[in-house]
Structure 1
Amino acid sequence: MTARETPESIVVVLGTRPEIIKFAPVIRECLARDVPFTLVHTGQHYSRELDRVFFEQLDLPAPDVHLDVGSDSHGRQTAAMLEGIEDVLVDVEPDVVLVQGDTNSTLAGALAAAKLNVDVGHVEAGLRSFDREMPEETNRVVVDHVAEYLFTPTEETRLYLEREGVAGQVVVTGNTVVDAVYQYADVAAEKSTVLDDLELSPGEFCLLTAHRAENVDHPDRFRSLLAGVAQFADLTGHEVVYPIHPRAQSRLDEFGVDVPDEIRVIDPLDFLDFLRLESTAALAFTDSGGVQEECCILGTPCVTLRYTTERPETVYVGANCLAGLDPADVVAAGSLMLGKQPDWTIPFGDGRAAERILDALTEVETDTDTAAATVTPTETTATETLQ
Structure 2
Amino acid sequence: MKIACIAGARPNFMKIAPILSAIKKYPKLEPILVHTGQHYDYEMSQVFFDELDIPEPDVYLGVGSGSHAVQTAKIMIAFEEIVNQYKPDIVLVVGDVNSTLACAIVGAKLWIPVAHVEAGVRSFDRTMPEEINRILTDVISDFMFTPTEIANENLRKEGIPDEKIFLVGDVMIDTMLKYKEKAKSTQILKRMGLSEGSYALMTLHRPSNVDIKENLVKILSALEAIQHRIKIVLSLHPRTKARLKEFSLESRVAKMDNLIITDPLGYLEFMGLMIDAKFILTDSGGMQTESTVLNIPCLTLRENTERPETINYGTNTLVGNDTECIIQESLKILEGKGKSGTYPSIWDGHTSDRIAEILNSLGYK
- TM-score bucket of the superposed structures, by smaller chain: over 0.9
Partner of 2:246: 254
Does the 8 A contact of 1:322 with 1:333 survive in 2? no
Can you give the 5+ residue segments of structure 2 that lack an aligned partner in the other structure? none
Deviation at 1:49, TM superposition (A): 5.8
Q: Which runs of 4+ in 1 moved over 4 A?
A: 340-343
Q: Does 1:110 align with 2:104?
A: yes
Q: Which of 356-365 and 250-259 deviates more? A: 356-365
RMSD (CA atoms): 1.7
> Among residues 261, 268, 277, which one is paired with 1:265 in the alignment?
261
Partner of 2:167: 172
**Cα deviations across residues 136-171 of structure 1 (Å, max 9, x unaligned)?**
111100001000000010001100100111257000
The residue type equivalent to 1:328 in the other structure is E
**Cα deviations across residues 258-279 of structure 1 (Å, max 9, x unaligned)?**
3251422111100000000111
Partner of 1:148: 142
Matched ranges for 1:16-165 at <5 A:
16-34=9-27, 35-48=29-42, 50-165=44-159
The percent of aligned pairs where both chains have the same amino acid is: 40
Q: Which of 254-263 and 70-79 deviates more? A: 254-263
Deviation at 1:325, TM superposition (A): 0.4
The alpha-carbon distance between structure 1 residues 49 and 239, as it changes in their structure 2 partners (threshold 3 A), is closer
- How many residue pairs were aligned? 355
Partner of 1:220: 214
- The alignment partner of 1:184 has SS state of helix
Does the 8 A contact of 1:206 with 1:239 survive in 2? yes
Does the 8 A contact of 2:90 with 2:112 survive in 1? yes
Distance (Å, rounded) in 2 between the aligned partners of 1:342 and 1:326: 19
Q: Does 1:322 align with 2:318?
A: yes
The residue type equivalent to 1:303 in the other structure is L
- The alignment partner of 1:303 has SS state of strand
The residue type equivalent to 1:18 in the other structure is P
Distance (Å, rounded) in 1 between the aligned partners of 2:157 and 2:87: 33
The alpha-carbon distance between structure 1 residues 298 and 312, as it changes in their structure 2 partners (threshold 3 A), is same
The alpha-carbon distance between structure 1 residues 118 and 64, as it changes in their structure 2 partners (threshold 3 A), is same
Q: Does 1:290 align with 2:286?
A: yes
Q: Does 1:13 align with 2:23?
A: no
Distance (Å, rounded) in 2 between the aligned partners of 1:50 and 1:214: 21
Q: Does 1:240 align with 2:232?
A: yes
Does the 8 A contact of 2:281 with 2:298 survive in 1? yes
Deviation at 1:119, TM superposition (A): 0.7
Partner of 1:378: none
Partner of 2:202: 208
Distance (Å, rounded) in 2 between the aligned partners of 1:83 and 1:68: 12
The residue type equivalent to 2:299 in the other structure is V
Distance (Å, rounded) in 1 between the aligned partners of 2:44 and 2:326: 31
Deviation at 1:59, TM superposition (A): 1.1
Does the 8 A contact of 1:231 with 1:327 survive in 2? no
Deviation at 1:51, TM superposition (A): 1.9
Deviation at 1:223, TM superposition (A): 1.6
- The alignment partner of 2:280 has SS state of strand
**Cα deviations across residues 2-43 of structure 1 (Å, max 9, x unaligned)?**
xxxxxx100011111221001111011012223211111111
> Among residues 336, 343, 347, which one is paired with 1:346 in the alignment?
343
Deviation at 1:216, TM superposition (A): 1.4
Does the 8 A contact of 1:303 with 1:337 survive in 2? no
The alpha-carbon distance between structure 1 residues 59 and 268, as it changes in their structure 2 partners (threshold 3 A), is same
Deviation at 1:336, TM superposition (A): 3.2
Deviation at 1:218, TM superposition (A): 1.3
Does the 8 A contact of 2:332 with 2:338 survive in 1? no
- The alignment partner of 1:33 has SS state of coil
What TM-score results when the alignment is normalised by the length of structure 2? 0.93
Does the 8 A contact of 1:233 with 1:240 survive in 2? yes
Q: Does 1:336 align with 2:341?
A: no
